[in-house]
Amino acid sequence: MFKQLGLIGCGLMGGSFALALKRAGMVRSVVGYSKSPSTTERARKLGVIDIEASSALQAVSGSDVVLLAVPVAATEATLKAIRHLVTRDILVMDVGSTKRDVVDAARRSLKEQVGSFVPCHPMAGKESSGVEHADADLYQGRQVIITPIERTLVAQLKKAQQAWEAVGGVVVKMAPDAHDAAIAAVSHLPHLLAFAYMNGIAGQSGADDFLALAGPGFRDFSRIAASDPTMWRDILLANKTELLAQSRKFRESLTALEALVAAGNGEGLATQIRQAREVREPWRMGGT
């Protein structure tokens, strides 16, 4: 049981965590801070936070657990702003979609207190951002990847695990680099492709007529193209090396399929489609 959650970034992810932790009876009060005072005020009015803070440092003051739920590019500045109040007794976590850059930022900004920081990435979310979409059930049954480093304090790691389990998460631990390589393949690349695909259609004359005819296949394939531009700009840039490696593999695969189509090689094409189907069909989302 925590005394006070200091929430920095009262949006979809942070707001959902606050609502779920309160519902689980794991925290007495939530003090929140967001960049725009209007967001912080909305979070209080919606009952996501109990008290509005006017700075990140103020949100941390008196808190025994702190969650950073800001765009990954804002991690370092935020940690620098709060570092004077971070002690061995405070658990500090994030929810950022990339981990190598976040861990590097934590080492630089928290220095000897970096052990209090437990890097986390919940495999949950939606395209719609903002506190009005916060949902106490968002983390229910979803994997939460924790990427501890050698200096992470065991006591804080245990508390982080308990907090995520209390909000319904299924905790998986791995190294930051392994996280970034895997997530580039299953999340960052599909987003890049969805953006490219939509722009490829939109750049054609007759695009509106094409889109008017689209059905469920298009809906499923393109859903994530509606994601938040700022958030995804930051993520794609933060995981550049792994993302570009995955993009190269994708190009090779696409080129091979195009060659089969161009050659009219139905047998080869069917083999490739069968292979894809055999991997996709039995797949189930982790944690559920």
Nearer to ligand NAP, 174 or 201 (CB): 174
Does residue 48 touch ligand NAP according to CB under 6 A? Answer: no
Does residue 95 touch ligand NAP according to CB under 6 A? Answer: yes
Long-range contacts (CB closer than 8 Å, 24 or more residues apart) made by 222-227:
222/194, 222/197, 222/198, 223/127, 223/194, 224/127, 224/190, 224/191, 224/194, 225/191, 225/194, 225/195, 225/197, 225/198, 226/127, 227/127, 227/191, 227/194
The region of 22-30, 63-71, 170-178, 188-196 touching ligand NAP under the rule CB under 6 A is: 63-71
Nearer to ligand NAP, 9 or 169 (CB): 9
- DSSP state letter for 170: E
Binding mask 221-250 for ligand NAP (x = CB under 6 A): -------x--x---x---------------
Q: Cβ of residue 211: shortest distance to ligand NAP, in angstroms?
A: 24
Does residue 136 touch ligand NAP according to CB under 6 A? Answer: no
Site for ligand NAP (CB under 6 A): which residue of 13, 19, 30, 103?
A: 13
Question: Alpha-carbon distance 69 to 7, whole Å?
Answer: 7
Residues forming the site for ligand NAP (CB under 6 A): 8-14, 34-36, 39, 69-72, 74, 78, 95-97, 122, 125-126, 129-130, 228, 231, 235
